[in-house]
Structure 1
Amino acid sequence: MSPIAVTSPNEPLRNLKQCAAAATPGLSTETCDALSFQGRVRAMIFGGAFGDALGAVIEKMTHQEIKDMYGKVTHLDVPWWRETQDAVRRKGRVRGRGIITDDTLMTICLMSVYCTEERHLDAWDVARGIIREVVWTPRYIPEMQRETMLQERLWYAEKWLFMRHQMTNCDPRQGGIGNQVNCGAAMYIAPIGAVNAGNPRAAYSEAIHFASAHQESYGLEAAGVLAAAVAAAFVPGTTVDDIVEVAIAVAHDGTKAAIVAIVEAARAMIGAPYDDVVVKFHEVIAKYSYTGDDIDYTIDKAGVPSQAYRPSRFNSIEELPLAFGFAITNKGEFYGSIIDGVNSGRDTDSIGVMIGCFLGPLHGASVIEKQHLDMLNSANHFDLLSNADAFGKVARKIQAEDEEEIHKVLQARKQLA
């Protein structure tokens, strides 16, 4: 990653490599206890990146289209379905063979903000930290095959951050108001779950406060619920069912209803043929999601309203419930869950990211296969384990400070009459 060129009024911002050098001198990036906090952080970052790269190859294809072209995508070394299209239709991008999307790059940006601030984050850290990372920090963008600002690559709902926080200087807590309601904030929220490992409600609260600068309605809710699920996944002995129960416990409105509905369907279909599972899941989620199979934005859709622009308490982004569903039908198996999730079609990279981010810490670093890690590092010009270790060290520091604060609170309460 390139050094950050912009400085704050008080101190230089530090990227993850600088943070790693300062915080973890001599730390090996080759070995660690697979089920230690460090090992679980590594698995979370790897899981998200693997799901992202695997799903990016087939994003926006239907389940049937994926079957017709690929059979089933099961590994990273495959070509993108748009690869033979002209550059205009591809928006000048390349994918396939391990290339990740902005979902993983935004996750790395969030980890970098944590490494800079070394504390819990809120909406102001989007307005300051994420904006500096996205708009003013050059980095290698794999899909564009060059170094530039991440802002140039982002989807429109994420470009909204620049418009709201830099161009209009809004109250950071109101930054998400008016944005397209989508899963954009949820896609990079996993580090908040790691910082709050073992405390899902705290993860939910921090994620909601932070992501209110980015999303609203059920798009914001998805970020909070996923952060809670990740926090739960770090607890030793946790199962997929435990993670799902935590998600249901913290969720509200359509998000809660959609998760419950998909989970019920998933538990009834364990062992069923995969195609039948996909059909059933899409049938169930249709009540809560406007998406459907046609998720390309075309000229014919200009000016046509949808549920995405009419937030309702009965709506939910579909990626999060589906991620839980495929984890259940695969009984929590890491690779099987991700593979089934992305091959179901539609917003495939997002589904893959979500599954990887909560199943990674559940299993720990033992799920990291060298061939996949090497391809991800090579294709994207980064070092996932170094990034994970730098962030994990800072997360531990924040957790230690939390424990001190909790002790003070308990001592104060003991003195109350």
Structure 2
Amino acid sequence: MNEIWGRAQQQDFRSRVRGCLLGGAIGDALGAGIEFDSLDAIRRTHGEAGVTDYVPAFGRRGAITDDTQMTMFTMEGLIRAHVRRDAGVWHPPTDVHRAYLRWATTQADWGPDERKKDQGWLAREEWLYSRRAPGQACLSGLGDERMGTPAAPKNPRSKGCGTVMRSAPFGLLVGWEPGLVFQLAVECAAQTHGHPTGYLSAGAFAVIVHALAHGEPLDAAVQRALAHLAPQSGHEETTEALRAALGAVRQGLPTPERVQSLGEGWTAEEALAIGVYCALVAEDVRHGLLLAVNHSGDSDSTGSICGNLLGVQHGETALPPAWVVELEGRGALLTLADDFAMEMTQSAGLHGDGWLRRYPNA
């Protein structure tokens, strides 16, 4: 970054980064136990209000899924991209792709391989070596080392929400222009999902997060994303979904049925629309997250997207503390968020041997 960061600015940015990462993880964990349930089934099991707290998933309360796992590796890849710039190497899509390959290893191996010295600290976190219902397109797109690009994407027909749910960290590159944030998110989404709706939804989400990180209101952030979508080939589904989310706000009080009018969230544009709508109508973080998960469909992904938005908008102190405390991997999430915030604001004083052991530039 070229600008000078004052202490208050650094503290505000760190709070927004923490809020974004933790908020997404909380939404993910709230939806993890009901991801494949219909609204009727959720109500039969948990009461008319649906889930109002964590329910067990993957053997515990507060468990995260592949959504948060991949978001963490996105953030780690962006840190390493900035570190590698010191060595005269600057191609962030490649660094994010390598981070996604490290995530793919956690889905196949029993634990970290200490023989690989370039892995960094995140890939050595044993608790991440656990399959949490990963999307097939994410797994197949990372099944070999060829990096998909918008010109030659992996899985060209796939527009699953696996692009959007991992893309919030691109929006936290607050020193970048919005157009570059959009493009980077698109390029990295095409590494696993090649349908225009899949990768353009990721770009739109990144632009929305980017605007919120700069203190813009959410409705203005959505309008900014629509402006970036308009000239893109194949933007129509994503644009229509975002406009539907804005329109739903004016249709009356928020209900699970109104959420379901936007879709189920399995595809990228539907998950984005649901997450945006729930954040727009949220009375507070708790209300928005519960609305985002209590519907028929991909509850963990829509909860994660909504949590990213509310977290970056309001900062970490707005998150319900009881949910923060019980969240799986809280220590690692906070460490990663703080490292990202420091890399973006104080990189000149960081890049010594200790930092390079954490984020190797190999």
Give the equivalent residue in structure 2 for 1:61: 37
Identity of aligned pairs, percent? Answer: 27
Quick one: which amino acid aligns to residue 114 of structure 1?
A: L
**CA displacement 1:172-208 (0-9 Å, x = unmatched):** 5524343632010211111111013684333212111
Give the equivalent residue in structure 1 for 2:56: 79
8 Å contact from structure 2 (residues 285, 319) kept in 1: no
8 Å contact from structure 1 (residues 53, 96) kept in 2: no
Does structure 1 residue 226 correspond to structure 2 residue 205? yes
**CA displacement 1:70-98 (0-9 Å, x = unmatched):** 1221222x334xxxxxxxxxxxxx25510
SS in 2 for 1:214: coil
Give the equivalent residue in structure 1 for 2:135: 155
- Residue 367 of structure 1 is aligned with which of 314, 318, 326? 318
Q: CA deviation at 1:329?
A: 2.4
Q: CA deviation at 1:258?
A: 1.4
Does structure 1 residue 259 correspond to structure 2 residue 277? no
Quick one: which amino acid aligns to residue 319 of structure 1?
A: A
**CA displacement 1:223-270 (0-9 Å, x = unmatched):** 11111111011123x22222222232223311101111221122221x
User: What CA distance in whole angstroms lies between the structure 2 residues aligned with 1:46 and 1:149?
Assistant: 19
Q: CA deviation at 1:147?
A: 5.2
| Superposition map of 1:18-417 within 5 A | 36-71=12-47, 72-76=50-54, 78-80=55-57, 94-118=58-82, 122-135=92-105, 138=111, 149=129, 154-163=134-143, 165-166=144-145, 169=146, 172-173=149-150, 174-178=152-156, 180-196=158-174, 199-216=177-194, 217-236=196-215, 238-251=216-229, 252-269=235-252, 272=253, 274=254, 277-283=255-261, 285=262, 317-330=269-282, 333-376=284-327, 379-380=328-329, 382-396=331-345
User: What CA distance in whole angstroms lies between the structure 1 residues aligned with 2:245 and 2:348?
Assistant: 33
User: What CA distance in whole angstroms lies between the structure 1 residues aligned with 2:258 and 2:326?
Assistant: 34
8 Å contact from structure 1 (residues 197, 232) kept in 2: no
**CA displacement 1:269-316 (0-9 Å, x = unmatched):** 1xx2x5xx3323433x35xxxx59xx7xxxxxxxxxxxx7xxxxxxx6
CA change 1:113–1:256 in 2 (3 A) is same
User: What CA distance in whole angstroms lies between the structure 1 residues aligned with 2:155 and 2:288?
Assistant: 34
TM (norm. structure 1) is: 0.67
Quick one: which amino acid aligns to residue 47 of structure 1?
A: G
CA change 1:121–1:189 in 2 (3 A) is farther
User: What CA distance in whole angstroms lies between the structure 2 residues aligned with 1:279 and 1:357?
Assistant: 23
User: What CA distance in whole angstroms lies between the structure 1 residues aligned with 2:214 and 2:76?
Assistant: 24
Q: CA deviation at 1:213?
A: 1.6
8 Å contact from structure 1 (residues 197, 230) kept in 2: no
Quick one: which amino acid aligns to residue 110 of structure 1?
A: T
Quick one: which amino acid aligns to residue 214 of structure 2?
A: V
User: What CA distance in whole angstroms lies between the structure 2 residues aligned with 1:35 and 1:242?
Assistant: 24
CA change 1:339–1:177 in 2 (3 A) is same
User: What CA distance in whole angstroms lies between the structure 1 residues aligned with 2:332 and 2:289?
Assistant: 22
8 Å contact from structure 2 (residues 154, 193) kept in 1: yes
CA change 1:343–1:153 in 2 (3 A) is closer
TM (norm. structure 2) is: 0.76
Structure 1: gaps spanning 5 or more residues? 1-31, 81-93, 140-145, 296-307, 309-315, 401-417
8 Å contact from structure 1 (residues 42, 389) kept in 2: yes
Computing the radius of gyration from Cα coordinates, the structure with the larger value is: 1
Give the equivalent residue in structure 2 for 1:87: none
**CA displacement 1:394-417 (0-9 Å, x = unmatched):** 2335799xxxxxxxxxxxxxxxxx
Structure 2: gaps spanning 5 or more residues? 1-7, 113-125, 230-234, 350-362
SS in 1 for 2:137: helix
CA change 1:135–1:153 in 2 (3 A) is farther
Q: CA deviation at 1:381?
A: 7.1
RMSD between superposed Cα atoms in Å: 3.2
8 Å contact from structure 1 (residues 278, 344) kept in 2: yes
